[in-house]
């Protein structure tokens, strides 16, 4: 049996899905009570875009054993692919009831809720995920994003700072933290994080642009002009360049005694 499973997965990994289906189907005939074989068959159908067959096979797997969380998660992915978000959420909620202590399905649900712009619900799930898996950097990042979307900038900042403790040299996280500081009207802190972003990634054009904006807010026009000029040198859109050049021209006039 192991050789046949290996052969089936070899076809799967080579994207030879028709051959993989044949191999898994033969294995199911020989082992009709194995839910994982149905799961593998369903996953192959999913990769082929045959969602109806994928759902049918996942359901057969759950008829054999309804307590396998991963199969509900896989089933949810099929429904997401068909834009049936409510049904996907139902599948993940069922998975969570099987073992509420397992953060995996709950995190899967949280990501789905974020994609559906249901940030308050996502926050609830992410906090539970982090309670069980406090080192899950992705969960902290998603929680920071979700807090930002609902306007809870203090908590967003705290979560971004937690992410930075885990990944201190990630320029994009420093940038997002800067945006949260700016939204929280902590301009100096935002400028500090934007400068740190550029230290880590000198091609981070958005950081230059935002620094140009914030220095202008602080009426530090020379610094603002410098950052906008850096920004222009990194972008290729001619219309955007023209707009920023007009901004620079106005800033130069404002900075002239």
52-106 pLDDT, tens digit each: 999 999 999 999 999 999 999 999 999 999 999 999 999 999 999 999 999 999 9
Cβ atoms 31, 37 nearer than 8 A: yes
Cβ distance 244 to 231 under 8 Å?
yes
* Full-model pTM: 0.90
Complete domains list, the chain, with CATH: 2-197 (1.25.40.10)
256 pLDDT tier (thresholds 50, 70, 90): low
d(CA 159, CA 169): 16
pLDDT value at residue 3? 80
When the pLDDT of each residue in the chain is averaged and rounded to a whole number, the result is: 96
Residue 44, judged by CB atoms within 10 A of its CB (0-12, 13-18, 19+), counts as: buried
Report whether 224 contacts 231 (CB < 8 A). Answer: no
- Name which of 170, 157, 133 is nearest 110 in CA terms: 133
Confidence of residue 115 (pLDDT cuts 50, 70, 90): very high
The pLDDT-based confidence of 257 (bands split at 50, 70, 90) is very low
Torsion, Cα 46 106 165 194, to 10 degrees, reads 70
């Amino acid at each position: 049996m192991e050789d046949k499973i290996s052969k089936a997965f070899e076809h799967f990994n080579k994207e030879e899905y028709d051959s993989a289906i044949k191999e898994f189907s033969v294995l199911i005939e020989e082992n009709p009570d194995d839910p994982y074989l149905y799961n593998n068959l369903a996953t192959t159908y999913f990769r082929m875009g045959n969602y109806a067959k994928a759902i049918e096979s996942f359901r057969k797997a759950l008829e054999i054993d309804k307590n396998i969380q991963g199969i509900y998660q896989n089933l949810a992915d099929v429904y997401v692919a068909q834009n049936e978000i409510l049904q996907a959420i139902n599948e993940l909620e069922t998975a969570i009831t099987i073992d509420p202590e397992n953060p995996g399905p709950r995190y899967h649900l949280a990501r789905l809720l974020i994609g559906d712009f249901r940030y308050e619900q996502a926050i609830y799930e992410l906090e539970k995920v982090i309670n069980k898996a406090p080192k899950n950097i992705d969960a902290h990042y998603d929680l920071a994003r979700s807090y930002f979307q609902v306007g809870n900038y203090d908590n967003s900042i705290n979560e971004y700072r937690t992410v930075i403790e885990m990944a201190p040299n990630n320029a994009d996280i420093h940038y997002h933290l800067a945006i949260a500081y700016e939204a929280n009207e902590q301009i100096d802190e935002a400028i500090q994080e934007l400068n740190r972003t550029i230290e880590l990634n000198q091609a981070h054009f958005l950081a230059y642009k935002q620094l140009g904006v914030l220095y202008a807010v602080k009426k530090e026009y020379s610094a603002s002009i410098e950052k906008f000029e850096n920004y222009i040198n990194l972008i290729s859109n001619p219309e955007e360049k023209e707009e920023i050049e007009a901004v620079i021209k106005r800033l130069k006039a404002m900075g002239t005694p």
